[in-house]
Amino acid sequence: MFLLDGKNMRRLYTTLIPLLVVSACDDFDGPGDHVQAKTTQLIQYASCSDLETDLKQMVKYEIWADIDQIDYWNSRGGLEDTAGGDGAGAPNDGGRQEGVDYSGTNNQEQGVDEADFVKTDGYHIYTLNGNRLHIMGVPLFGELTAESVTKIEGYPRQMLLDGANNRVVVFSQINVYSLPDGHPLKRLVGWQDSDDTNWYWRIKELSKITVLDVSDRSAPKLMKEVFYEGWYQTARKVDSSIRLSGYSMIEPAIMYGWYKIYDDNDHNKNRTKQIVASYVDALKLADLIPQIYVRMPDGHFETNSLSQASCQSFYRPTDSHARGISSIISFDVLGDTLHWDADHVVSNWTTFYASKDRLILAEPAHDWWWYWWYRDDLDQLNIHSFDISVPGQTRYEGSGRVNGLIADQFSLDEEAGAIRVATTTGFFWRWWAEDAQRPELENHVFVLEDTGDQLDIVGHVGGIAKGERIMSSRFIGDKGYLVTYRYIDPLFTLDLSDRHNPKVVGELEVPGFSTYLHPIADGKLLSIGIDSAQRWRTQVSMFDVSDFANPKLDAALPVEAQNSWGWSEALYDHKAFQYWAPKQLLAIPQSTYAYQYANGSYTYQYLSQLVLVNVDATSGALSIKGRIDHSPYYDENPNVYWRYVDIRRSIFMGDFIYAISDKAVTAHRLTDLATVAEQKLPGYTDTDYYWWW
pLDDT bin (cut points 50, 70, 90) of residue 191 is: confident
Q: Structure pTM?
A: 0.90
Looking at the predicted structure, is the pLDDT value of residue 550 above 90? yes
CB 347 within 8 A of CB 361: yes
Q: 3-state SS string over 358-391?
A: EEEEEEECECCCHHHHCCCCCCEEEEEEEECCCC
Res 20 pLDDT > 50: no
- Residue 171: predicted pLDDT: 97
> Which neighbouring-strand residues pair with 540?
528, 557
Is residue 605 pLDDT above 60, yes or no?
Answer: yes
Handedness of CA 175, 178, 184, 189 (dihedral sign): positive
- Mean pLDDT, rounded, for 150-172: 94
* pLDDT tens, position by position, 104-127: 999 999 999 999 999 999 999 999
SS (H, E, C) 585-605: EEEEEEEEEEEEEECCEEEEE
Higher pLDDT, 45 or 298: 45
Say whether pLDDT at 46 is over 90.
yes
Q: Which of 285, 294, 359 is nearest to 325 (CA)?
A: 285
Cβ atoms 366, 347 nearer than 8 A = no
The domain tally of the chain equals 1
Is residue 591 domain-resident?
no
Residue 26 within any structural domain of the chain = yes
Q: List the beta bridge partners of residue 457.
A: 448
Q: Is residue 176 part of a domain?
A: yes
Q: Establish if 246 belongs to a structural domain.
A: yes
Does position 91 have pLDDT exceeding 90, yes or no? no
Residue 30 lies in a domain: yes
CB 545 within 8 A of CB 524: yes
Amino acid occupying residue 141: F
- Please give the residue range of the domain that contains residue 255: 1-41+49-347
Provide the pLDDT for residue 80.
Answer: 46
Indicate whether 181 belongs to any domain.
Answer: yes
Asked if the structure places residue 503 within a domain, the reply is no
Give the pLDDT of residue 4: 44
β-bridge mates for residue 447, sequence order: 420, 459
CB 314 within 8 A of CB 47: no
For the chain, the farthest-separated pair of C-alpha atoms sits apart, in whole angstroms, at 77
pLDDT band at 204 (very low <50, low <70, confident <90, very high): confident
Q: Is the pLDDT of residue 72 over 90?
A: no
Beta bridge partners of 543: 525, 553
Share of the chain above pLDDT 90, in %: 66
Pick the more confident residue, 172 or 438.
172
Query: Looking at residues 448-473, what average pLDDT do you find?
Result: 93
> Higher model confidence: residue 16 or residue 672?
672
State the Cα–Cα distance between residues 421 and 480, nearest whole angstrom: 10
The pLDDT of residue 110 is: 94
Stretch 205-222: mean pLDDT: 95
Helix (H, G, I), strand (E, B) or coil at 531: strand
Most confident by average pLDDT, 90-104, 290-304, 429-443, 598-612: 290-304
Q: Quote the pLDDT of residue 637.
A: 76
Q: Compute the mean pLDDT over every residue in the chain, rounded to the nearest whole number.
A: 87
Confirm whether 367 is domain-assigned: no
Helix (H, G, I), strand (E, B) or coil at 633: helix
The pLDDT, as a whole number, for residue 14 is 34
Whole-number pLDDT of residue 44? 94
Residue 333 region, left (φ>0) first, then alpha (ψ -120 to 50), else beta? Answer: alpha
Q: What is the pLDDT of residues 425-457, one digit of tens each?
A: 998 877 776 666 778 899 999 999 998 779 999
Query: Highest mean pLDDT: which of 177-181, 398-402, 511-515, 533-537?
Result: 398-402
**What confidence score (pLDDT) does residue 84 get?**
37
Mean pLDDT to the nearest integer, 246-263: 90
pLDDT above 60 for 486: yes
Q: Which helix (H) or strand (E) holds 165?
A: none
Q: Which of 204-218, 298-312, 409-423, 554-568 has the lowest mean pLDDT?
A: 554-568
- With 0-12 / 13-18 / 19 or more C-beta atoms within 10 angstroms meaning exposed / middle / buried, residue 493 is buried
Burial profile 601-619: b = 16 or more Cβ within 10 angstroms, e = fewer: eeebebbbbbbbbebebee
Q: State the pLDDT confidence band at 48, using cuts at 50, 70 and 90.
A: very high
pLDDT at position 13: 31
Q: What is the mean pLDDT of residues 608-637?
A: 93
* Percent over 70 (pLDDT), the chain: 88
**Does the pLDDT value for residue 23 go beyond 50?**
no
Is the pLDDT at 463 greater than 50, yes or no? yes
* pLDDT score of 492: 96
CB 450 within 8 A of CB 417: yes
Instruction: Please count the helices (runs of H) and the strands (runs of E) in the chain.
Output: 8, 44
Highest mean pLDDT among 55-59, 84-88, 295-299, 306-310: 55-59
Residue among 490, 487, 485, 493 at smallest CA distance from 519: 493
* pLDDT-wise least confident of 73-77, 114-118, 209-213, 474-478: 73-77
Q: What is the pLDDT of residue 693?
A: 44
Q: Are strands 221-229 and 231-238 parallel, antiparallel or unpaired?
A: unpaired
User: What does the alpha-carbon distance between residue 282 and residue 279 come to, in Å, rounded to a whole number?
Assistant: 5
